[in-house]
Amino acid sequence: MKKIYILILLLIFLFSQKSYSQQEIWTVGTAKTIPKKNLDLSVFMPLRYGITNTLEVFGQPYAFLILPNVNIKKMWLDKEWKISTVHGLNYPTIFLRTIRKFDIEKSIPRDTAVPQIVAFRNEILFSKMLKKKTSCNPSNYLLTIKLGAKFAYKSEKPRFLPILRPVIFQETSIYHDNILLYIGVDLDGHIDETLDFTLDLDFQSVGVDMKYWAIQHKGLLRWHAGKRTTIVVGYLASYGNYPDKNRVYIMPLIDLIWRFKAKRGKELKLFEE
């Protein structure tokens, strides 16, 4: 454990800068996209890359071998209100066949056949800056409203039972002829030059009849240790109605993010051309 702490401190030291300006507001979960040729790499969150200033691609690279996944965010309107859509897919069959070996809570017994499954994600995001930029202060408080749906194609009806665990139940319910609908609101903003925050609240419905549902809330603080390094701490809280009983769930969140930006010289040359 001591070696891990030392490694984290070394990484912060290597990527930190002595001086830095106000960081841009976090774009994850908002209609804004990561700037062109910027790359965000973290320990737990998906890798994000800006193809253009209005198009980004993101996915979880560490799990790709057992859970192939890819998502694309496209900004269609970049005015006072920013409007974007997110479209993604993943292939969970390999992952499900892997975890059935451990017989987790007897949901997926070892001898259960797992069909071919492809899961789809579609969202629309509306974002607006509540505090406009002035000569003294940067713009602040980005409000985002999101609407989304997740569903899956199955080669045959799964024979395993729903996984009755908070958060996981909603995400895997689409493997059982259900559609997951959700609506949420996010607020992102600066506290000072080195500290940002995110607060969000989501309502999820398993199916259109809202027989099973969940309310999720997340709070995050991001400390910009330098131009390239960000440390994230926070929590996730969930309360939901499940097939067996209502469940409350709270877990801590922590992450380390490195941002790699396009070289300034190339940007200036492009601007001159």
Task: Report the candidate in 32, 74, 81 with the shortest Cα–Cα distance to residue 57.
Answer: 74
**What is the structure's pLDDT at 234?**
96
**What is the structure's pLDDT at 199?**
96
State how beta strands 81-90 and 69-78 pair.
antiparallel
Task: Report the candidate in 6, 48, 21, 88 with the shortest Cα–Cα distance to residue 226.
Answer: 21
Mean pLDDT in runs of 10 for the chain (273 residues)?
50 43 73 94 92 95 90 96 97 87 66 89 97 81 97 90 86 91 96 92 93 95 89 96 91 93 54 39
Please say whether the beta carbons of 186 and 144 come within 8 A. Answer: yes
* Annotated domain spans of the chain: 31-272
Phi, psi of 261 (to 5 degrees): -110, 160
The helix or strand, by DSSP H or E, that contains position 99, with its residue range, turns out to be helix 93-99
Does the domain at residues 31-272 carry the CATH identifier 2.40.160.40? yes
**What is the structure's pLDDT at 175?**
92
**What is the structure's pLDDT at 4?**
55
Q: Calculate the alpha carbon distances from 249 to 165, 200, 224, 235, 271 in Å.
A: 9, 16, 29, 10, 50
**What is the structure's pLDDT at 86?**
97
